[in-house]
């Protein structure tokens, strides 16, 4: 895959707004738990990461 396309896909994924699944607080890069309700974000972050990796594998 073209490296420029891969970089573009990663940068696009990083601009998505990620919210806590429990209270909908907007999360910042690096948050491991919700700054508002304290909910653990591991499952949500793993799903986000999986989606990014799958996006890199897609030919588009």
Place of tokens 């990014």: 52
Q: How confident is the model at residue 2 (pLDDT cuts 50, 70, 90)?
A: confident
Structure tokens at 29: 């890069």
CA angle at 40 for the pair 31 and 26, rounded to the nearest 5°: 45
Task: Return the pLDDT at 1.
Answer: 57
**Which is more confidently placed, 40 or 1?**
40
Element (H, E) at 50: helix 42-57
Q: How far, in Å, CA of 5 to CA of 29, rounded?
A: 22
pLDDT digits (tens, 9 = 90+) for 3-56: 899 899 999 998 999 999 999 999 998 899 999 999 999 999 999 999 999 988
Task: Return the pLDDT at 8.
Answer: 92
Task: Return the pLDDT at 46.
Answer: 94
Place of tokens 């420029």: 4
Q: How far, in Å, CA of 44 to CA of 33, rounded?
A: 10
């Amino acid at each position: 895959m073209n490296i420029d396309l891969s970089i573009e896909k990663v940068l696009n994924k990083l601009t998505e707004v990620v919210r806590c699944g429990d209270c909908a607080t907007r999360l910042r890069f690096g948050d491991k738990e919700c700054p508002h309700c304290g909910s653990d974000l591991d499952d949500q972050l793993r799903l986000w990461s999986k989606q990014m990796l799958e996006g890199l594998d897609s030919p588009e």
